């Protein structure tokens, strides 16, 4: 009996503990194998640290999640510290949704800046790429944050959103048409806005410096100056590839949602963000092909 074809598992013995490296799909066909490897690992005398590396995992279903929860339980019973590392974005969301993310040490992969915190609400809007798109985006944003952000934070978020949507409408081509995707995600202590279009995009490192007196080109400098962090990323592949510019603004949510979100925040989460970078400094380093991030935290 081998593992299912779309599943890989390796146990690596290190000095202080064991790493179980997973790849492919963790589902009802493969989860027993994981539990078995785990039991083998904790039966080794003196092992007090266990790492499950999720870096290559493409899918986890409910059976797979049950296996992870069972491992978390058993690790607790045996006094073994369990760390889940490098979860891809989709897996991270699943770990958050089920609540396991709050009960294990979760360390992100170096290149992955997907937030390791559950969102309160995520809003997806498709805007027609037309001159009134920035105005509509501002309206949607105001509606989304109504009563949830302070007046100043709200004004900043509205301005930055407007700038990104304006760029998306103006830059990808000379003609008007198509659509611009706007995603607003509210977290307990910050807001993230992503603007997606089908354009060629740009590279942070190759942006020309803004020239005083010219109408265009100020947008990103405004974003760079006022956001807590921002960046670019590409979504999808092939013909459906989209270019995404995002920013985040650290701002405590107010009201009911904020209170609840606070209950699920753990101090460890703040560790994920890298040290401060300015746009100017980041322009000097080559940006990665998958995307780049500028942090003003």
Partner 1 sequence: MRPETATAILEIAGNAFVTLDAHGRVLEWNRRAAELFGYSRDEAFGRDLAELIVPSRYRERHRDGLRRAAAASESDRITARLIVEAVRRDGRELPVEVSLTVVRDGIEPSFHAWIQDVSERTQLLRELEAQLRGRDPGFGQILDALAEAVTIRDPHHHILYANRAAFESMGFSSLEEMQRRPPHAIFADYIVHDEHGHELTMDSIPSVRLLAGERAEPLLLRTISRSTGELRWQLLKSAPLHGEDGQPVAAVTVIEDVTRERTADLHDRFLARASEILMSSLDYQETLRNVAWLAVPEIADWCAVDLVDDRGSRQRVAVAHHDTSKLKLAEDARRFEPDDLDPDRGVGRILRTGESELYREIPDDVLARAAVNDEHLTLLRSIGFRSVLLVPLRARGRTFGVMTLVTAESMRRFDEVDKEFAEQVAGRAAIAVDNARLATSRRETADTLQRSLLPDIVPRIAGWDVATLYRAARAAEEVEVGGDFYDFYETDDGWIVLLGDVTGKGVEAAALTSLVRHGARFLSKYEQSPSQILARLNEALSEQPGLWLCTAVCVRLEGERAVIASAGHPGPLIVRDDGRVREIGAIGPILGAWMGEPSVERGVPIAANETLFLYTDGVVDTLGEHERFGTERLKRLLSERAGEPPARILASLEAGLDRFQVGRQADDTAALALRPVAVSERVHGDAAQSAEASRKLPVT
Residues in contact with partner 1 by CB under 8 A are 28, 59, 61-63, 65-66, 69-70, 73, 96-100, 102-103, 118-126, 140, 186, 256-257, 260, 263-264
* Closer of 7 and 219 to partner 1 (Cβ): 7
Query: At its nearest, how many Å lie between partner 1 and the CB of residue 242?
Result: 11
Report the candidate in 76, 72, 95 with the shortest Cα–Cα distance to residue 264.
Answer: 95
Query: At its nearest, how many Å lie between partner 1 and the CB of residue 136?
Result: 10
* Closer of 126 and 281 to partner 1 (Cβ): 126
C-alpha distance from residue 62 to each of 55, 73, 98, 241 (Å): 19, 16, 10, 30
Query: At its nearest, how many Å lie between partner 1 and the CB of residue 225?
Result: 29
Query: At its nearest, how many Å lie between partner 1 and the CB of residue 10?
Result: 24
Query: At its nearest, how many Å lie between partner 1 and the CB of residue 169?
Result: 18
* Closer of 161 and 296 to partner 1 (Cβ): 161
- Determine the Cα–Cα distance for residues 74 and 21; give it in Å rounded to an integer: 18
Look up residue 222 and give its two tokens.
């405004």
Q: In the Cβ-directed half-sphere of 275, how many Cα atoms lie within 13 Å?
A: 1
* Closer of 29 and 170 to partner 1 (Cβ): 29
* Closer of 26 and 204 to partner 1 (Cβ): 26
How many residues belong to the chain? 297
Query: At its nearest, how many Å lie between partner 1 and the CB of residue 53?
Result: 22
Beta-carbon contacts of 145 under 8 Å, excluding residues fewer than 6 positions away, are 153, 154, 157, 184, 186, 191
* Closer of 140 and 163 to partner 1 (Cβ): 140
What are residue 245's phi and psi, to 5 degrees? -115, 135
The burial of 46, by beta-carbon neighbours within 10 Å (0-12 exposed, 13-18 middle, 19 or more buried), is given as exposed
* Closer of 11 and 260 to partner 1 (Cβ): 260
- Determine the Cα–Cα distance for residues 254 and 186; give it in Å rounded to an integer: 11
Contact 157, 193 (CB under 8 A): yes
Query: At its nearest, how many Å lie between partner 1 and the CB of residue 119?
Result: 4
* Start-to-end CA span in the chain (Å): 50
């Amino acid at each position: 009996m081998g593992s299912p074809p779309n599943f890989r598992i390796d146990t690596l013995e290190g000095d202080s503990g064991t790493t179980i490296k997973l790849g492919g799909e963790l589902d009802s066909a493969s989860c027993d194998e994981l539990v078995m490897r785990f039991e083998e690992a904790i039966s080794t005398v003196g092992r007090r640290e266990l790492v499950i590396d999720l870096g290559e995992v493409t899918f986890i279903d409910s059976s797979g999640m049950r296996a992870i929860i069972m491992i978390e339980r058993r690790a607790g019973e045996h006094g073994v510290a369990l760390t889940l590392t490098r979860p891809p974005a989709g897996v991270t969301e699943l770990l958050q949704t089920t609540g396991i993310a709050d009960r294990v040490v979760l360390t992100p992969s170096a290149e992955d800046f997907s937030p390791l915190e559950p969102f309160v609400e995520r809003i997806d809007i498709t805007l027609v790429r037309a001159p009134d798109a920035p105005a509509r985006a501002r309206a949607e944003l105001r509606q989304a944050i109504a009563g949830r952000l302070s007046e100043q934070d709200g004004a900043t978020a509205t301005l930055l959103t407007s700038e990104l949507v304006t760029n998306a409408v103006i830059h990808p081509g000379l003609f008007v048409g198509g659509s611009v995707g706007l995603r607003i995600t509210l977290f307990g202590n910050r807001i993230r806005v992503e603007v997606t279009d089908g354009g060629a995009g740009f590279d942070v490192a190759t942006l020309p410096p803004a020239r005083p007196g010219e109408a265009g080109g100020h947008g990103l400098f405004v974003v760079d100056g006022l956001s807590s962090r921002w960046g670019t990323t590409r979504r999808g592949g092939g013909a459906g590839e989209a270019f995404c510019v995002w920013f985040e603004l650290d701002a405590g949510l107010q009201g009911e949602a904020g209170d609840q979100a606070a209950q699920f925040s753990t101090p460890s989460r703040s560790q994920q963000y890298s040290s401060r970078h300015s746009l100017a400094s980041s322009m000097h380093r080559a940006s990665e092909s998958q995307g780049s991030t500028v942090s003003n935290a």
